[in-house]
Amino acid sequence: MEKGFLNVALAQISPVWLDREKTIDKVIQYVNDASEKGSQLVTFGEALIPGYPFWVERTEGARFNSQQQKEIFAIYSSQAVNIEEGHLDKLCKTAKDKSIAIIVGIIERASDRGGHSLYCSLVYINQLGEIKSVHRKLMPTYEERLVWSLGDGNGLQVHKLGDFTVGGLNCWENWMPLPRTALYAQGEDLHVAIWPGGIQNTIDLTRHIAREARSYVISVSGLFRKEDIPDDFPLAELMRNNSTDVLANGGSCISAPDGSWIVEPVVDEERLIVATLDHKQVRMERHNFDPSGHYSRPDVTQLIVNRERQGVVKFKD
């Protein structure tokens, strides 16, 4: 790839819902496809492995101490990703073998928080197959709080990829000005917003962030249809009866640093979207506005970010 350019891929796909291993295998297929198309970065939607908790608002998920909801949570937890147990090892090996960076949304069952609570996490794997950051969603949105725990600032990090500096946030975190600012200040010029799927989320905010940051913005979404609900899901019939045919319609897209579309939102289609980004466009747009550089006033306003990984105990042996 010529200096200053970056080939990127957006994999707008549905999970094999609530099946971690089959979903990882599907992700790997798309990583291989992206590599064959010359991509240096491939991105996937929020909570893709093993899937978004679409059942909550469709099966009385707020009913306290419900035996059925506890059973579903136990299934979800069993299929969540525990990085320390090696659940992402195959994916990391693929990244290394193909020399491609990966951003993917997972449901993380975190060992450092006892191994049972779940976090919505964005994972960055570099071209050497190394997991360089795991960003746990700071504030789950609305009904998500019934199954996901609150994250922390440890994953508010950026990563060099060629001439670009890449960062990302989960879903509605992208509406939060201060986490965005934390990434901008570290030199981010390629922002990756990951979503469970929905053009209503991506069509306005993608271009807004691009113009605010003067950065490229990738919004990558998942898909989910009624037919993706497995027959052995405990409340499959109830969930289907309370669902439209399409629960998540995608909306993946790419905006240039001036807010113009490189790829307009793609809906209702499982596909790999590829594009080439030119870093020169970032430098051009930073000429008249740089939110963390010449157009900032740190003597007047500053942001303090706590990136310590949070936990309930510190051991001193």
Give the 3-state secondary structure of 136-197.
ECCCCCHHHHHCCCCCCHHHCCCEEECCEEEEEEEHHHHHCHHHHHHHHCCCCCEEEEEECC
- Tens of pLDDT, residue by residue over 219-263, are 999 999 999 999 999 999 999 999 999 999 999 999 999 999 999
pTM: 0.97
pLDDT computed for residue 1 by the predictor:
58
What's the gap between Cα 72 and its chain centre?
23
Residue 217 to residue 210: CA distance in whole angstroms = 6
Q: What share of the chain is helix, strand, coil (3-state, %, to 5)?
A: 30, 25, 40
Secondary structure class of 201 (helix, strand, coil): helix
Domains of the chain: 5-285 (3.60.110.10)
Structure tokens given for 10: 């957006």
> Tens of pLDDT along 56-84?
999 999 999 999 999 999 999 999 999 99
User: What amino acid positions are annotated as catalytic residues?
Assistant: 46, 137, 171
Element (H, E) at 219: strand 216-221
User: In this predicted model, what pLDDT tens digit does every residue of 139-188 receive, in sequence order?
Assistant: 999 999 999 999 999 999 999 999 999 999 999 999 999 999 999 999 99
Which residues are 119's β-sheet partners?
A: 108
First to last CA, the chain: 49
Exposure class string for 121-131: b at 16+ Cβ within 10 A, else e: bbbbbbbebeb
Tell me the sheet residues that pair with 270: none
